[in-house]
Chains A and B, each alone.
Chain A
Amino acid sequence: MDLALFLIFGGLAVAAALNLLLQRHPINSALSLVVVMMSLAVLYWSLGAEFLAAAQVIVYSGAIMVLFVFTIMLLNAGEEERTHGSRAAYIVGFPGAAAIFCLLSFVFLTEGKALGTVSLGGYLDNAANNIAEISHVLFTSLLLPFEVTSVLILVAILGAVVLARKEQ
């Protein structure tokens, strides 16, 4: 059951990510990205991180991607043109992607024991939730990064207000 969920939504995430790259119209790409986010949310949930899953759906697919779609609609962006791409993308891009892939798999394979493991499913049945633990960690040991992040977002909001204000 849990394996089936993983296979279905993992496959869906990969397919939607490919579709995101291959689609020519920006709105179709944006919607593919929404599908990727939702599939990731299901994967988080099946790993027992239900708060992360809900936050993923509400914040990413429900707010940020809506603003993406909104902007595309407002600007009425047309279809992109097919080009062969820049040469730099070929020279740097493919080796770069391969290098990142190798690095990540090296880290996960060597440090797998130190990172700990979580089993697929099993958390779905019990009523214990990890929201209390997350909030405890956020407000005790991770308080400084948490507050710094909120100040960062505040700076972004102030920047938007400054940009949007008319010149006196």
Chain B
Amino acid sequence: MSNLSPFLTFLLISIAKIVVVLVITLTAVAYTVLLERKLLGIIQNRWGPSRVGPFGLLQPLTDGIKLFLKEDLTPIAIEKPLFLLAPIIALGCALISISVVPFGAVTRVAGVDLFQIADVNIGLLVILGITSIGVYGIALSGWSSNNKYSLLGSLRATSQMISYELALGLSLVGVVLRAQSLSLRDIVNSQSAHGLLSWNFFGGFQFVAFFIYLMAAYAETNRAPFDLPEAESELAAGYHTEYSSMKFAMFFMAEYANMITVSCVATLLFFGGASSPFGTLFSGFLDTPFFNAVFPIFWFVAKVFGFLFLYIWVRSTLPRFRYDQLMAFGWKFLLPVAMANILVTSLAMALHG
């Protein structure tokens, strides 16, 4: 590796990182679907998928094959370029935002951090920006399908996402105030001093912000109890009614990839990212470079898994909101509480210095 120029080394390692992260994310997406079906089964007192492979573990593979081999129907009365572009925007935006997420401790090889694709100094804003671009995928899919149900679904999704983006953004201000940086790596580092006690959720007293973030994020990803855009009893399937085969699968994957991104951001901002909940309590234990690299990833994955579990649990427990309830909740409750949280946090910061 020493005979390569620094730029070439950086380029090769970056490409390798991107490929690995992409493969892992897509696999995680497939297995989140399986996790959801299994957990929903258990919660509803039935088996869930259990036939393909041990415990149904090969079910995502067969699902993928099924979606690939299905006939790709293209309705006649659509706007073709936008109809094709919409699922690409949806999935692309869902996958790009994972690129600024630090999912391990800083581990440098040839000057390049292994466990984060890009350490951008405005990482949090990048994620928010990409999320707000993702709205176009849904908006365009509904409009270009030339179908009433699709259009209604996408109008609902667009207005819901725009409304909840405000509460989402404002809920993160408290965390940014505490970390004094928008870089996700800095935000994680600001919570790593005393393990569990210095996480923003516990020690930072940002639990109000966390619950606002969680609720707004459920609405942003169009998941239950805010899954009005695809309310099957009212809208057939919502914005992706006219899509079939892989184009449908891209929307489906985008939804789950967004769930994973939201879980990652919740972990990073409120639960200390890849830092251990025990802080430096066991720092002498298994102190080799290998374990020092692996344990943070383990904690990160465990936390993200916890949030995914919560997503599915909420879906199986809560009924769907009505549309006016959704809007009133977002604008009249979440937004004022988020603003109050900013005031209280900045006041406390000013008093403590």
**Chain A residues with a Cβ under 8 A of chain B:** 27, 31, 34, 38, 50-51, 53-55, 57-58, 61-63, 66-67, 69-70, 73-74, 127-129, 131
Contacts and interface: CB of A to CB of B under 8 A. Distances in A.
A70 B129 contact: no
Per DSSP, chain A at the interface is helix
B128 A58 contact: yes
A63 B132 contact: yes
Contacts of B162: 63, 66-67, 70
B154 A66 contact: no
Contacts of A54: 122, 125-126, 128-129
Given A67-B162, A70-B159, A129-B182, A50 B121 contact: yes
A66 B155 contact: no
B293 interface: no
A73 B150 CA distance: 12
Contact of A50 (B122, B128, B158, B169): B122
Q: Count chain A CB atoms within 10 A of each CB in B120, B129, B155, B182 and give the residue with the most.
A: B129
User: Contact size class for B?
Assistant: 20 to 34
Contact of B129 (A62, A66, A127, A131): A62
B132 A58 contact: yes
B132 A62 contact: yes
Interface stretch (B31-39, B133-141, B329-337): B133-141
B271 interface: no
A63 B136 contact: no
A31 B89 CA distance: 12
Interface string B67-102: 000000000000100100000000000000000000
Contact of B122 (A51, A66, A70, A73): A51
B182 to A, nearest CB: 7
A128 B181 CA distance: 10
Given A51-B122, A54-B125, A69 B136 contact: yes
Contact of A57 (B79, B132, B169): B132
Contact of A73 (B126, B151, B165, B181): B151
Nearest to B142: A73
B309 to A, nearest CB: 30
A77 B158 CA distance: 18
Contacts of A70: 139, 155, 158-159, 162
B206 to A, nearest CB: 20
21 contacts: A50-B121, A54-B126, A55-B125, A57-B132, A58-B125, A58-B132, A61-B129, A62-B133, A62-B165, A63-B162, A63-B165, A66-B132, A66-B162, A67-B162, A70-B139, A73-B139, A73-B142, A127-B183, A129-B121, A129-B122, A129-B182
Nearest to B7: A1
Given A50-B121, A129-B182, A73 B155 contact: yes
Given A57-B129, A70-B158, A62 B122 contact: no
A140 to B, nearest CB: 16
Nearest to A66: B135
Contacts of B182: 129, 131
B237 to A, nearest CB: 18
Contacts of A58: 125, 128-129, 132, 169
Interface in B144-168: 151, 154-155, 158-159, 162, 165
A62 B125 contact: no
B139 A62 contact: no
A66 B121 contact: no
A69 B165 CA distance: 17
A51 B183 CA distance: 12
A70 B70 CA distance: 32
Contact of B132 (A31, A61, A127, A128): A61
